[in-house]
Amino acid sequence: MKIGTQDQAFFPRDIKEKFLFLKEAGFEGFEIDGKLLVDHLDEVKEAIAKTGLPVTTACGGYTGWIGDFNEERRLNGLAEIKKILEALQEVGGKGIVVPAAWGMFTHRLPPMVSPRSQEGDRKAITESLLYLETIAKETGTTIFLEPLNRYQDHMINTLADARSFIDENQLRYVKIIADFYHMNIEEDDISEALHMNQDLVRHVHLADNHRFQPGSGSLDFKRHFNQLKEDGYDGFLTIECRVRGNDPQAEYMKALHYLRQSLG
């Protein structure tokens, strides 16, 4: 398993300098914002060639959710995701992280009654995934379907929820991304959920139980990494977290060291 990272505010803003910084820091891959990739494709290609640091995946960078309540936004989002997948193909990226939605509605906060039925939710997500399946096939990429916790989304909260869409529609180019932070809230046992879905988990996001940097909270990363090893997972572990501390960069490097120790 290799350790990658999303962007952070304390990374260099210049793309080539950013890639060089990550390479020298010891990261083995970069999960890029989709819009940044599309808008600066040539610069990203040059940065990859200069440093040898791969773009592993894209996350974000589109404006409509695959389960959006608004049909125009949903279709716009799909069009933008298509462009991101085409750009990922050009740089050798594996795929894009896609939740059903984020921050659109939750049953845990008022008004607590969704403006759309559960059947309507499933229809929107299914139509989106069937479309993206064709684009992923054409581009040789993967859609990483991400369950989010109940406070950020109401449609797909567990690995089993994500699996149901893949199995019911016999999707080959849609897999599951397991996010330790969301799993800490939604799964009875992170390791068990990873094991039960080992055939579909193809990407992993890392944050501690409180969403801050790994090693600063209570999650047992070593146990969960051992489960991934036992199940033969050989993909990326990508840090996606907030960072707290007086020196965020130093704290982030400390988290990277902690993760390497936990991997053994």
- pLDDT, residue 140, reads 98
Mean pLDDT of 168-177: 98
Mean pLDDT of the chain: 98
Among candidate residues 31, 133, 186, 240, the one labeled active-site is 240
pLDDT digits (tens, 9 = 90+) for 20-73: 999 999 999 999 999 999 999 999 999 999 999 999 999 999 999 999 999 999
Query: How many Å apart are CA 176 and CA 204, to the nearest integer?
Result: 9
Domain carrying residue 82:
3-263
- pLDDT, residue 159, reads 98
Q: For the chain, what is the domain count?
A: 1
* 30 φ, ψ (degrees, to nearest 5): -130, 125
- The beta strand positions in the chain, using DSSP E, are 2-5, 29-32, 55-59, 95-99, 142-146, 174-179, 201-206, 236-239
Among candidate residues 133, 146, 186, 187, the one labeled active-site is 146
Which tokens in the block code for residue 220? 């047992």
Mean pLDDT of 170-179: 98
Answer yes or no: 146 catalytic.
Answer: yes
- Tell me which DSSP letter residue 97 carries: E
- pLDDT, residue 28, reads 98
pLDDT digits (tens, 9 = 90+) for 68-92: 999 999 999 999 999 999 999 999 9
Query: pLDDT over 90 for what percent of the chain?
Result: 100
pLDDT digits (tens, 9 = 90+) for 125-153: 999 999 999 999 999 999 999 999 999 99
What CATH number corresponds to the domain at position 247?
Answer: 3.20.20.150
Mean pLDDT of 150-159: 98
